[in-house]
């Protein structure tokens, strides 16, 4: 881990790191917020919230716009922000559109060429980066996970596919049923191939019936979100949860859109939700 920068924030530290990823076969950057008790000459180990960002984003969007550091500092919670895709692998078409390729890894493991050797963001987040930061930083290894839009989809599938790894999960405006929306169909076809049956293991709505763990899902969704009807489909996720007795709390937020103004308005609620599960409140 090469330290790129450090900023003091609410007496903790926001740090940016670079490392070489064996999983993605490229160099990656990520951000960490460490609360005050986890920095200094005698740092105490703290649990972490993993935040997965959405299309076009990198590690910096959440750290600069969400306003999460103050509450995280009070709670004694670290925040880990990975990037949203491999970077600099120079694949054909990688930078042609905002919703596929760079900035659009969808937190899945690609099986199609030329994407398969690099676009393995699920294994990167769940395994490689987790092992790295927990071995190098003052972290307990107790984890929660959340995210926005594509990252909300990522948070849900990371939790549903890896029972016991996270103690809580939440999402802001997640792509809740990606096999049935344009964003998901485009990404899954490109990364996973033409057979929709191979897509199902990466769709939160379709994972609910066979989930081995019933972590309560906390989801906030703005009613003025331009992508609500065409891309996000939270109703499908709710229906699956109701049918299979999976606890879910979908909160429709009147007038809110898809932006970080929406996230910043309710981020404290989500941090408190995770803090309770992490034993911090």
Going along the chain from its start, the domains and CATH numbers come out as 2-278 (3.40.50.1820)
Residue 103: predicted pLDDT: 97
Whether 35 contacts 78, CB under 8 Å: yes
Count how many residues are written for the chain.
281
Sequence-distant (≥ 6) Cβ neighbours of residue 229 within 8 angstroms = none
Residue 40: predicted pLDDT: 85
Residue written as token pair 């003052």 = 138
Annotated catalytic residue 149: yes
Sequence-distant (≥ 6) Cβ neighbours of residue 259 within 8 angstroms = none
Active-site residue, selected from the candidate residues 149, 153, 246, 270: 149
Residue 281: predicted pLDDT: 74
Active-site residue, selected from the candidate residues 14, 118, 258, 274: 258
Neighbours of 142 (CB within 10 A): 16
Residue 175: predicted pLDDT: 98
Residue written as token pair 């491999």 = 86
Residue segments in the chain with a per-residue pLDDT below the cut of 70: none
Annotated catalytic residue 225: yes
Sequence-distant (≥ 6) Cβ neighbours of residue 54 within 8 angstroms = 84, 147, 148, 149, 150, 151, 152
Neighbours of 87 (CB within 10 A): 19
**pTM here?**
0.96
Whether 100 contacts 53, CB under 8 Å: no
Whether 203 contacts 179, CB under 8 Å: yes
Annotated catalytic residue 19: no
Rg (alpha carbons) of the chain, rounded to whole number? 18
Active-site residue, selected from the candidate residues 14, 225, 270, 274: 225
pLDDT tens figures, 141-170:
999 999 999 999 999 999 999 999 999 999
């Amino acid at each position: 881990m090469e330290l790129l920068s450090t900023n003091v924030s609410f007496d903790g530290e926001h740090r940016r790191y670079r490392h070489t990823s064996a999983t993605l076969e490229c160099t990656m950057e990520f951000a960490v917020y460490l609360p005050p008790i986890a920095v200094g000459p005698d740092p105490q180990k703290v649990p972490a919230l993993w935040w997965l960002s959405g299309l076009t984003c990198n590690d910096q969007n959440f750290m600069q716009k969400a306003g999460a550091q103050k509450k995280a500092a009070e709670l004694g919670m670290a925040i880990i922000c990975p990037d949203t895709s491999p970077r600099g692998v120079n694949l054909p078409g990688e930078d042609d559109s905002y919703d596929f390729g760079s900035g659009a890894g969808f937190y899945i493991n690609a099986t199609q060429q030329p994407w398969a050797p690099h676009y393995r963001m699920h294994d990167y987040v769940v395994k490689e980066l987790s092992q790295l930061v927990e071995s190098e930083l003052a972290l307990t290894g107790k984890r929660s996970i959340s995210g926005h839009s594509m990252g909300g989809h990522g948070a849900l599938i990371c939790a549903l596919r890896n029972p016991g790894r996270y103690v809580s999960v939440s999402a802001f405006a997640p792509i809740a049923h990606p096999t049935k929306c344009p964003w998901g169909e485009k990404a899954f076809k490109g990364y996973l191939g033409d057979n929709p049956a191979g897509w199902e293991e990466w769709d939160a709505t379709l994972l609910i019936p066979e989930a081995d763990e019933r972590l309560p899902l906390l989801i906030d969704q703005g009613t003025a979100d331009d992508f609500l009807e065409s891309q996000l489909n939270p109703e499908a996720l709710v229906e699956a949860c109701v049918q299979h007795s999976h606890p879910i709390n979908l909160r429709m937020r009147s007038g809110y859109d898809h932006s970080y103004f929406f996230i910043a308005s309710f981020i404290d609620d989500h941090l408190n939700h995770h803090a309770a599960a992490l034993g911090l409140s």
